[in-house]
Amino acid sequence: MTDFKIQGGRKLSGSIVTNTSKNGALGLLCASLINKGTTTLHGIPRIEEIRRMLEVFKSLDIKVEALSDTSLKITPPKQWDISKINRESASRMRSVLMLLGALVHIDKDFRLPHAGGCDMGERTIAAHKHGLEELGVHILTEEDDYHVTNRGLKAAEIVMYEASDTAAENLIIAAALTPGKTIIRYAPPNYQVQDVCHLMETFGVKIDGVGTHILTVHGVESIDMEAEHYNSEDPIEAMGFVTAAIMTGSELTVERCPINFLEVELLKLKYMGLKFDTSDKYLAKNDKTELVDITVHADKSELKAPENKIHPLPYPGLNVDNLPYFAPIATQSEGETLIHDWMWESRAIHFTELNKLGANVQLLDPHRVKVVGKTVLKGAQVVCPPALRPGFIIFLAMLGAEGESILRNIYTIARGYEDLAQRLNAVGANIEVLE
């Protein structure tokens, strides 16, 4: 149990650097397993979700060598025994599902524990199941496991059941080792999906259409090489730091922001009245992702509610993981903001936790909230919601709330964000970690 004690209402200033992404790192770790040789991955954040995945790797005798704090060398075992999987660690992650794309090439009959992760209502695996079925995989949902079988994989044309990032990654990984041409339609070209595509290209797998909704994967017989790849920066964390500046009325520069995955969010904020500047573009260490530095002038901005509702869409629309940030932002905007979180069952319910800080968030139904602003937020004691992004928005609201706040049991936030207290304290926050 770890808590945050926050002295709110303090201005932030200076610069804060965006970390590499959780979602990208998890996809790359799972994708590395189709390489019989060694894969060196740089930019793997030190967060709880990664620690759970590495516990799973250890249980499967996958060799993981730490070359530095954020660089890992992955070597799969010569002999696999999937039955040895660490069930406790596996069941605490949604991302354990992305092991399917690699494991179907290793064993024709195995079981994978049910995926866990955030508590946001029912979360289907239909996009994974139906897509992999087209390649020749059969997935049966049992009481505690997914029973996965196949009699041999074949290239196919797949129309994705829904635009799922993790399912698209699974299909790309599975198709990469399936000889022939697999076409994946309605694949969301989100940042983590593109990262997996770039790693596949490093492995020598040709993929047409990277960055579009139609991917053609030219599968190969085998991958056995020394490979190296850099994870890209996290647009969700970048948006979180922009929100921190807004909630504290600060001028703050957020460095290394992957701009192509933030354009819609920034456009919404521009029309809401936020003043900000962006630097010229420069490339991330993977030589593909375009980055900018964003300087937020929240101290010179008067925010107003948007005329239309805020809702997510598959990329290039507003990212579903960035949607929750608009709830605390709306508390500091004049007028009524309608937020429609249609993708996740019941996640919007967690947004009402902001009311404990003095917000006016009205739950209209399990998917929609109305936020009435502008309100003065006051410090309070809140138990962190059991979902990553809703937990983080409570934390961000506490940064701007007057007085002292305590956020209890921040494990959920630690799953996706690294050293938050230390990094934000360096730009003026006052956060104490209570063990």
pLDDT at residue 123 in the model = 56
User: What are the residues whose beta carbons fall under 8 Å from the beta carbon of 314, sequence distance 6 or more?
Assistant: 163, 188, 190
Q: For 235, what's the count of Cα atoms within 13 Å in the CB-facing half-sphere?
A: 24
Alpha-carbon separation of residue 252 from 173, 271, 272, 297, 422 (angstroms): 39, 19, 18, 7, 16
Q: Which has the minimum average pLDDT: 6-20, 67-81, 84-98, 170-184?
A: 84-98
- How much is the average pLDDT of 47-51? 95
Report residue 120's pLDDT band, with 50, 70 and 90 as the boundaries: very low
Q: Which has the minimum average pLDDT: 121-125, 198-202, 321-325?
A: 121-125
Q: What is the pLDDT of residues 304-333, one digit of tens each?
A: 999 999 999 999 999 999 999 999 999 999
Let me know: does 98 contact 166? Beta carbons within 8 Å: yes
In single-letter form, the type of residue at position 262 comes to L
Question: 264: closest CA among 190, 193, 186, 198?
Answer: 190
Let me know: does 240 contact 252? Beta carbons within 8 Å: no
Question: 241: closest CA among 271, 272, 265, 268?
Answer: 265
Question: 405: closest CA among 372, 367, 435, 432?
Answer: 432
Instruction: Please name the helix (run of DSSP H) or strand (run of DSSP E) that holds residue 363, with its range, or none.
Output: strand 361-365
Q: What is the pLDDT of residues 340-371, one digit of tens each?
A: 999 988 899 999 999 999 999 999 999 999 99
Look at the block and give the residue holding tokens 């995945």: 53
Q: Which has the minimum average pLDDT: 89-103, 107-121, 215-229?
A: 107-121
pLDDT at residue 289 in the model = 97
How would you classify the pairing of strands 39-42 and 227-230?
parallel
Q: For 92, what's the count of Cα atoms within 13 Å in the CB-facing half-sphere?
A: 17
pLDDT at residue 92 in the model = 86
Q: What is the pLDDT of residues 230-281, one digit of tens each?
A: 999 999 999 999 999 999 999 999 999 999 999 999 999 999 999 999 999 9
Q: What string of DSSP letters covers 197-232?
A: HHHHHHTT-EEE-TTSSEEEEEE-S---S-EEEEPP
Alpha-carbon separation of residue 372 from 202, 324, 331, 391 (angstroms): 49, 15, 6, 20
Report residue 114's pLDDT band, with 50, 70 and 90 as the boundaries: confident
DSSP annotation of 427 reads: T
Q: Is the pLDDT of residue 172 over 60?
A: yes
Which domains does the chain possess? 3-19+233-434 (3.65.10.10), 22-230 (3.65.10.10)
Task: Produce one character per residue of 244-266: b if its CB has 16 or more CB atoms within 10 Å, e if not.
Answer: bbbbbbbbbbbbbbbbbbbebbb
d(CA 404, CA 260): 37
Strand blocks (E) in 19-136:
39-42, 63-66, 71-75, 109-113
pLDDT at residue 298 in the model = 98
User: What residues are paired with 137 via a beta bridge?
Assistant: 150
d(CA 412, CA 405): 18
pLDDT at residue 358 in the model = 98
User: What are the residues whose beta carbons fall under 8 Å from the beta carbon of 67, sequence distance 6 or more?
Assistant: 40, 73
pLDDT at residue 121 in the model = 47
Q: What is the pLDDT of residues 355-411, one digit of tens each?
A: 999 999 999 999 999 999 999 999 999 999 999 999 999 999 999 999 999 999 999
Let me know: does 54 contact 86? Beta carbons within 8 Å: no
In single-letter form, the type of residue at position 424 comes to L
Going 348 to 350 to 351 to 355, the CA torsion angle's sign is positive
pLDDT at residue 133 in the model = 96
Report residue 139's pLDDT band, with 50, 70 and 90 as the boundaries: very high
Going 122 to 127 to 130 to 136, the CA torsion angle's sign is negative
Let me know: does 395 contact 150? Beta carbons within 8 Å: no
Largest CA distance in the chain: 63
pLDDT over 70, % of the chain:
98
Report residue 126's pLDDT band, with 50, 70 and 90 as the boundaries: very high
Alpha-carbon separation of residue 140 from 126, 152, 273 (angstroms): 11, 17, 50
User: What residues are paired with 112 via a beta bridge?
Assistant: 146
Look at the block and give the residue holding tokens 């069941």: 91
Report residue 124's pLDDT band, with 50, 70 and 90 as the boundaries: confident
Q: What is the pLDDT of residues 57-111, one digit of tens each?
A: 999 999 999 999 999 999 999 999 999 999 999 988 888 999 999 999 999 999 9
In single-letter form, the type of residue at position 322 comes to N
